Every structure is written in C-alpha cells, then in structure tokens.
Amino acid sequence: MDLEGKIAIVTGAGSGIGRATALLFAQHGAKVIAADITGKQDETAAENPAAITAVKADAGSEADVQMLVAKALELHGSLQVFYANAGISGGMEGIFDQSVEEWERILRINLIGPFLAIKHGGKAMADGGKGGSIICTASVAGLRSGAGGPAYTASKAGVINLVRIGAQQLTGSSVRCNAICPGLIETGMTEFIYNKARERGFEDKIGQLNPLQRGGIPNEIAEAALFLASDRSSYVNGHALVVDGGLSASHPYARQKFGQTAS
C-alpha cells in the first residue's frame, strides 16, 4: 500500500495508461480523482468506487484543472499526487501539412496541460506543506524524432524540459516533478497500429525494434507512475524516466543474433 493516505489526480483516466494508473493508485491505497474529457472516466471509477471519483474535465483548460484541484481539496482535504497524463497524438501528417491550429490543439493538451498541473497542483501541494509528486507523461517521441508527428514530438520534448523547470521552480516545497517517457504501449492511442498489424498477420512484428522485442502494456507505465508517486522515489526529482523496453537505448543498427560476434 505505497500510496496509503495520499490523494491523487490522474488525467486521461478513461483509457489506456491513465485508466491503468488510476486503478493501480487506488489499489495501493490512494483516493483518486479520475479525470477525462470523454465520460469514460465513469467506467474507470466504477471499478473501484470506494477509492475513485470520476470527474469530467479538459486537461488543457486552466479552469478545469483548477476545478480538479479544488475537487481534491473539497473531497479529501489535501493533494499529494498529480499525474498529468492526458494526451493526443494528432496524427502523423508531416511538417508541411500540419496547420498552426493543429499545433495549437496538440500543444494545448500535451504541453499546456502538464504546465497547468504544475501551476495549480504544485501550488496546492506546496501550500499543503507536506510535499508531493507531479508526474507528466512525455514519450520516447520527446527524446528524438521518429515516434510521432511533428507537433506531438515537439510537445513531448517540451514536457521533458518542463518537469526540469517545474522541479527547479518548486525548490524548497518538497514537491517533486518528474516525467515518464513510454515507448510503444497498446492503448486507445495506438489501437490503429495494433489493429492494422493484426489484420495483416504482423502482430509479432510489433515492438521488434526494442531489445525486449514486444510492445508494452498500460500497467507497465502505471507501475512507473506508482514508483514516482510514492515515497519510494523520494530523491527522484526533475527526471524523465524512460520505460520503453530499451528502444531508445541504441541508435538504429543491423541486428546481430544474441551471442554472435562481429567479424
């Protein structure tokens, strides 16, 4: 029960990584505000109604993020964890085809959303005087190019540096601020990739670029979020934790069989 007595907000909690994390946090003793824009947060909360409260909210709206923080304080009296996870991919159009409006839409949710979590969640935690943990979902797409569209890639790179400035700005508050960089995870966002591969009988090719040679599941990211949310990561701050099966650990290369020596 790593999160016993802690109050957590999770955005994007209606599906994928956010849903798995809300359920795992609740399983580990937290009271959770599960937020999503779709209404699917109700299904997540229905799995553990004693611990999870569903709230409809737009993670990129300042008024909604303020409302989420106020809800946590109203229902539970304090806030210790804010997982700013909601995000959209925005498709794979190239840089010459994306509009300014599309960039604004993607950056608003993927980057301004985490900024608002730090601004309002971090403030509430700092005011509470007992520290806390802010976690933002970045991506391997934020480390280098090739894992998403241009605006998505830029937004996720922004999140990685945002948690560094967030940690610095929260100096003295004992509020930590970290990011998670997932690799390929089977969720609503990547459903089309998995569906297409399954339709063509190529499911076993998914994840072959990483050393574990498989895609990840939402719970593998939720476990990383649990670590960052809990006091077990009490000295981890301003960090981007990569959870990608080793995908980003190497440059593209011609694969050798295990044990084979280069000639």
**Binding segment (CB under 6 A) for ligand NAD, from list 13-21, 121-129, 194-202, 247-255:** 13-21
Query: Using the rule CB under 6 A, is 153 a contact of ligand NAD?
Result: no
Which CB, 11 or 133, lies closer to ligand NAD? 11
Distances from the Cα of 28 to the Cα of 5, 85, 189, 225, 226, angstroms: 10, 19, 26, 12, 8
Q: Which residue in this structure is represented by tokens 């925005």?
A: 90
Q: Could you say which DSSP state residue 70 is in?
A: H
Query: Amino acid identity of 9?
Result: I
Three-state secondary structure readout of 93-128: CCCCCCCHHHHHHHHHHHHHHHHHHHHHHHHHHHHH
Whether residue 235 lies in the annotated active site: no
Judged by CB under 6 A, does residue 209 bind ligand NAD?
no
- Does residue number 111 form part of the binding site for ligand NAD (CB under 6 A)? no
Closest by CA position to 60, among listed 42, 79, 34, 36 = 36
3-state secondary structure of 90: coil
> Kind and range of the H or E element at 219?
helix 218-229
Closer CB to ligand NAD, residue 155 or residue 173?
155
17: contact with ligand NAD by CB under 6 A: yes
Would you list the DSSP string of 199-214?
HTT-GGGTTTTSTT-S
- Assess 225 for contact with ligand NAD (CB under 6 A): no
Burial letters for 177-211: b for 16+ Cβ neighbours within 10 Å, e otherwise? bbbbbbbbbbbbbbeeeeeeeeeeeeeeebbebbe
Binds ligand NAD (CB under 6 A): choice among 37, 52, 134, 240: 37
Q: Say how many residues touch ligand NAD, by CB under 6 A.
A: 28
Residue 16: both structure tokens together:
């994928």
Least CB distance to ligand NAD at residue 239 (A):
16
One character per residue 128-147, x = contact with ligand NAD (rule: CB under 6 A): ---------x-x--------
In the complex, what is the shortest distance from the CB of residue 191 to ligand NAD, in angstroms, rounded to a whole number? 8
Only segment of 86-94, 96-104, 200-208, 231-239 that touches ligand NAD (CB under 6 A): 86-94
Amino acid letter, residue 2 = D
Give me the 162-201 binding string for ligand NAD, x by CB under 6 A, dash otherwise: --------------------x-xx-xxxx-----------
Shortest distance, position 27 Cβ to ligand NAD, whole Å: 18
CA distance 144 to 159: 13
Binding site for ligand NAD (CB under 6 A): 11-12, 14-18, 36-38, 40, 58-60, 85-88, 109, 137, 139, 182, 184-185, 187-190
Task: Give the catalytic positions in this structure.
Answer: 152
